[in-house]
Chain A
Amino acid sequence: NAGVTQTPKFRILKIGQSMTLQCTQDMNHNYMYWYRQDPGMGLKLIYYSVGAGITDKGEVPNGYNVSRSTTEDFPLRLELAAPSQTSVYFCASKLSGNSYEQYFGPGTRLTVT
Chain B
Amino acid sequence: AQSVTQLGSHVSVSEGALVLLRCNYSSSVPPYLFWYVQYPNQGLQLLLKYTSAATLVKGINGFEAEFKKSETSFHLTKPSAHMSDAAEYFCAVSGAGGNEKLTFGTGTRLTIIP
Closest CB-CB distance, A18 to chain B, in whole Å? 25
Chain A's interface size range is 20 to 34
Total contacting residues, chain B, CB less than 8 A? 22
Taking the nearest CB of chain A, how far is it from the CB of B79, in angstroms?
A: 25
Q: Which of A44, A45, A96, A106 sits near B98, CB closer than 8 Å?
A: A96
User: What is the 8 Å Cβ interface bit string for chain B, positions 13-37, against chain A (1 contact, 0 not)?
Assistant: 0000000000000000000101000
Mark each residue of chain A from 33 to 53: 1 if its CB lies under 8 Å from any CB of chain B, else 0: 000000011111100101000
Nearest-neighbour CB distance to chain B for A44, whole angstroms, equals: 8
Decide yes or no: A97 and B99 within 8 Å by CB, A42-B104, A43-B104 being known contacts: yes
A101 to B34, CA, bound (A): 9
Residues of B within 8 A of A50 (CB): 99
B49, B97, B98, B106: most-surrounded residue (chain A CB, <10 A): B98
Q: How many angstroms from the CA of A96 to the CA of B51 in the assembled complex? A: 16
Instruction: Say whether B46 contacts A107, CB under 8 Å.
Output: no
- On chain B, the residues within 8 Å of A100 by CB distance are 32, 34, 49, 51, 94, 98
- Helix, strand, loop or mixed for chain B's interface? loop
Q: Which 10 A-B pairs have the closest CB atoms?
A: A104-B43, A42-B104, A97-B99, A43-B104, A42-B106, A97-B98, A104-B44, A98-B98, A101-B46, A106-B43
The contact sample of 22 A-B pairs, CB cut-off 8 A, is: A4-B43, A40-B106, A42-B106, A42-B107, A43-B44, A43-B102, A43-B104, A45-B102, A50-B99, A92-B44, A97-B97, A97-B98, A98-B97, A100-B32, A100-B34, A100-B94, A101-B46, A101-B49, A102-B46, A102-B102, A106-B41, A106-B42
